Chains A and B, each alone.
Chain A
């Protein structure tokens, strides 16, 4: 099956870092995209409910992805296994942007998200010279995602209580940041 070609890079659950890359997400990636967006384990800490039909996935790639100022598929051997995005701000908030990422659950625990975040941090400050702060807010219960950011060199700044509403309830969020002047790991 087609998915074997990316799975063959997971010998003993290990993925070569050099096989991890970022690229734009295309409509032709729809089947790979549906793997993670239809997974409730993945959607758990995301603001969206897991998708149940392919039309919603197609609609997202066609209309929502182009609205993102910066959006990339996270790929293993050029096959999408997740996505990452950076949201900029304007005016007096221009110095900061917010990072987000999502990964198919089959690929968790292998350092893929960490490597993807490292690739983002190596490029985004060059692409946006006015950017000084890349931040991320993570649910206090999403320990795995907090580990990704720590391993990628982000600094944990604190916990923001009842910071925003996700799926109907207010969440406590941990805020992390990486500055353009911080060492890139």
Chain B
């Protein structure tokens, strides 16, 4: 199947990672989107999913992706295998943006998310000169995602207890940040 050949081209540390690119996502990516959006391993810590119908995927891309201030597909050979986004704030909160990312489970453990976060961080600080702080909130149990941010140079600032409601339950979340003045690793 197509996806297997895609996954096998990505080996950690052998230069294949330079094929990873970020580009805006659109409705033509819906079938690739559904690969991770229908996987409950992937959506476990996401605010959405798992989706069971293509219509849900289309609605999500229409309502959440296309209007988003900064939303990219994480691509290998221009095929979307995940997504990464940065939200913007207004007024006195304009100095900070929140980064979020998701990756198909077949591509976990290869450094792809870390690479995508580094690429997105570099891009966003260049595109939004008023941005001084990039932050991420990660569930205390999502150890894989915490490692991604640490490897990408983010700093863990603290645990925010019972910070928000996720799929019906209040969760403790860890706050990470990368400042525009921090070394980009």
Contact = CB atoms under 8 A, between A and B. Distances in A.
Interface in B92-136: 92-96, 132-133, 135
Contact of A132 (B47, B95, B170): B170
Interface stretch (B72-80, B139-147, B153-161): B153-161
A29 to B, nearest CB: 27
B158 A92 contact: no
A161 B133 contact: yes
A158 B158 contact: yes
A72 interface: no
Contacts of A47: 92
A138 B99 CA distance: 24
Contacts, number: 76
A177 interface: yes
Indicate the size class of the contact surface on chain A.
Answer: 20 to 34
Interface in A127-185: 132-133, 135, 155, 157-166, 170, 175, 177, 179
A8 to B, nearest CB: 40
B165 A159 contact: no
Interface of B: 47, 91-96, 132-133, 135, 155, 157-166, 170, 175, 177, 179-180
Interface of A: 47, 92-96, 132-133, 135, 155, 157-166, 170, 175, 177, 179
